[in-house]
Amino acid sequence: MVLVLAGVGLFAAVDSTPKAFDVSTNVQGINKMIVSTTKFTGNSPGTFDSLTAYAGLTIGGNGTAVDPNGSYVLPAYLSTISNSRNGYTVTMGATAMKSAVAVNSVHTYINYSVSCNGKSVSTNGATPVTAEEVYTVGTQAGISSKSEQITIQVNKAEFDAAVEGAYTGTVTFTYTANT
CA 29 – CA 160 distance, rounded (Å): 47
Report d(CA 71, CA 154) in Å as an integer: 6
- Residue 142 DSSP one-character state: S
Q: Which parts of the chain have pLDDT scores under 70?
A: 1-12, 60-66
Domains of the chain from N-terminus onward = 30-177 (2.60.40)
pLDDT at 103: 87
Distance from C-alpha of 38 to C-alpha of 128, rounded to nearest angstrom: 30
Cα separation of 58 and 178, whole Å?
Answer: 35
Q: Considering only the C-alpha atoms of the chain, give the largest distance between any 2 of them, rounded to a whole number of Å.
A: 113
User: Secondary structure of 73-121 in the HEC alphabet?
Assistant: EEEEEEEEEECCCCCEEEEEEECCEEECCCECCECCEECEEEEECCEEE
Task: Quote the DSSP letter at residue 54.
Answer: P
pLDDT on residue 1: 45
Helix (H, G, I), strand (E, B) or coil at 161: helix
Say how far residue 34 (Cα) sits from the centre of its chain.
Answer: 4
Which residue, 86, 106, 90, 88, is CA-closest to 98?
106
